C-alpha cells in the first residue's frame, strides 16, 4: 500500500487579471499542515475508489497507463470552500497510485491531463514544495473566451518560493453550508472578471508584491506580511466585486472586518472564492486569535468551524 499526505493551501490572490498586461493570473499562496489529505492506494485490476476521489482515480489510472487501483481517502479537505480540495485530492491520488505501481510521475507534468493547474499554479507548487509560492501566470495572448480543453495548458512555473517562519500560524474560519464558485460557473465568472478587469489594480499589486509581501516573508516579519496579504486580498476583491457581491464574498466580508479588529491577528483575507477567511498570527497569540475568530463567527450568527494551522514548508509526504 502507498500513502500520500498533503495539506490545504490558501490562495491569497492573483497578480493580474487584466488583458492589458503581458502576464495573466500569477497566483500567490501558502501551504498549510491542517486540514490535510491522506490518500492510500493499492494496485488493482479495476477501479475501486472512495467517492471523493473516484473521478481523480479514473483519470490517474488513464494517465499512468495502469489497469486499475484501489484508492481510499483517509482524511479529506472540505470541498469548494477555498482550501484547494480539488487539486490536493487529485494530485495526492495520482501520486499514491504511481507509488503503488513504483512509477515516476511528476505531478506538474501530469496535472493538466487531470484538469488541474489551468489558471493558478499555487496548488501544484504547494503540493511539490510547500511554503510561500508565487507563480508566473500565463502569457496573456493565450487567453481565450472559452476554457481550453483538459490538458491543453502547462502549469505556470514557480517564480518565487520561501519557507514560512515556523512560529507563524494561520487561523481559519470555515462557515458551514456555503461553497465557493467552482466548475463551469467559476470559469464563466473568471472570464467575465478578466474581460473587464482594471489594469491599474495590477500595477498596485506589483508594488505590494515586490516591495511588501516578498520582503516580509523573506525577513519573517509578521506584521508587514499581514498588512501585505490584507492589501492583496482587497485589491483582488475590487476585481471580483460584481461577481461575488462585494470585495469579499458574503459572509466573508463581515468576518474579515471583525477579525481586522483583533489585536492578535496581523492580516486577514479570503482564500480564493471563499467562504474561508484566514488570519495571520503567531504561536504566542494563538489562543487570542482563536477566540477572536470564534467570536467573529458567533457575531454573524453563523455555524462553522475555527481551525489553527501551522505552515507547511515541505511537499507532500510519501509512505
More confident residue, 150 or 254: 254
- pLDDT attached to residue 144: 74
145 has pLDDT over 70: no
Euclidean distance between CA atoms 157 and 72, whole angstroms: 30
153 band by pLDDT with thresholds 50, 70 and 90: confident
Please report, for residues 26, 62, 187, 228, 261, the alpha-carbon distance to residue 193 in angstroms, rounded to integers and kept in the order given.
15, 34, 10, 23, 30
- pLDDT attached to residue 90: 98
- Beta-carbon contacts of 101 under 8 Å, excluding residues fewer than 6 positions away, are 43, 64, 66
179 has pLDDT over 90: no
Is residue 187 within 8 A of residue 147, CB to CB? The reply is yes
Q: Which residues pair with 133 in a beta bridge?
A: 29, 161
pLDDT digits (tens, 9 = 90+) for 180-201: 656 677 778 888 899 999 999 9
pLDDT digits (tens, 9 = 90+) for 64-109: 999 999 999 999 999 989 999 999 999 999 999 999 999 999 999 9
Sign of the alpha-carbon dihedral angle for 185, 191, 196, 197? positive
Please report, for residues 219, 230, 267, 290, the alpha-carbon distance to residue 75 in angstroms, rounded to integers and kept in the order given.
34, 30, 29, 23
Number of domains into which the chain is organized: 1
Euclidean distance between CA atoms 25 and 219, whole angstroms: 26
- pLDDT attached to residue 231: 98
In the predicted model, what is the mean pLDDT of residues 124-147? 92
pTM for this one?
0.95
Euclidean distance between CA atoms 44 and 67, whole angstroms: 7
Q: Write down the mean pLDDT value for the chain.
A: 94
Query: Residue 45 is part of a domain; what is its CATH number?
Result: 3.30.230.120
Backbone angles phi, psi at 231, to 5 degrees: -65, -40
**HEC sequence for 37-95:** EEEEEEECCCEEECHHHHHHHHHHHHHHCCCCEEEEEEECCCCCCCCCHHHHHHHHHHH
Range of the domain at 290: 2-318
- Give the position of cell 491520488: 93
More confident residue, 300 or 130: 130
In the predicted model, what is the mean pLDDT of residues 125-151? 89
Amino acid at each position: 500500500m502507498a500513502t500520500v499526505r498533503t495539506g490545504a493551501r490558501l490562495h491569497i490572490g492573483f497578480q493580474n487579471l487584466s488583458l492589458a498586461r503581458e502576464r495573466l493570473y500569477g497566483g500567490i499562496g501558502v501551504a498549510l499542515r491542517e486540514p490535510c489529505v491522506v490518500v492510500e492506494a493499492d494496485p488493482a485490476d479495476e477501479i475501486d475508489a472512495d467517492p471523493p476521489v473516484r473521478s481523480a482515480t479514473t483519470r490517474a489510472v488513464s494517465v499512468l497507463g495502469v489497469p486499475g487501483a484501489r484508492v481510499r481517502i483517509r482524511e479529506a479537505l472540505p470541498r469548494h470552500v477555498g482550501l484547494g480540495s480539488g487539486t490536493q485530492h487529485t494530485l495526492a491520488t495520482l501520486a499514491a497510485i504511481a507509488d503503488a505501481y513504483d512509477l515516476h510521475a511528476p505531478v506538474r507534468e501530469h496535472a493538466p491531463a487531470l484538469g488541474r493547474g489551468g489558471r493558478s499554479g499555487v496548488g501544484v507548487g504547494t503540493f511539490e514544495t510547500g511554503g510561500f509560492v508565487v507563480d508566473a501566470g500565463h502569457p496573456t495572448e493565450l487567453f481565450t473566451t472559452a476554457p481550453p480543453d483538459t490538458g491543453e495548458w502547462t502549469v505556470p512555473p514557480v517564480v518565487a518560493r520561501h519557507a514560512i517562519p515556523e512560529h507563524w500560524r494561520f487561523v481559519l474560519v470555515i462557515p458551514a453550508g456555503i461553497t465557493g464558485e467552482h466548475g463551469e460557473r467559476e470559469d464563466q465568472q473568471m472570464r467575465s472578471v478578466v474581460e473587464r478587469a482594471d489594469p491599474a489594480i495590477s500595477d498596485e499589486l506589483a508594488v505590494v508584491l515586490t516591495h511588501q509581501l516578498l520582503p516580509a516573508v523573506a525577513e519573517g516579519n509578521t506584521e508587514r506580511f499581514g498588512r501585505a496579504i490584507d492589501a492583496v486580498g482587497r485589491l483582488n476583491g475590487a476585481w471580483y466585486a460584481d461577481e461575488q457581491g462585494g470585495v469579499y464574498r458574503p459572509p466573508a466580508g463581515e468576518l474579515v472586518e471583525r477579525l481586522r479588529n483583533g489585536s492578535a491577528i496581523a492580516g486577514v483575507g479570503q482564500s480564493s472564492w471563499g467562504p474561508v477567511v484566514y488570519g495571520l498570527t503567531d504561536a504566542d497569540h494563538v489562543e487570542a486569535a482563536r477566540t477572536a475568530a470564534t467570536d467573529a463567527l458567533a457575531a454573524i450568527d453563523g455555524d462553522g468551524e475555527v481551525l489553527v494551522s501551522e505552515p507547511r514548508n515541505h511537499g507532500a509526504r510519501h509512505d
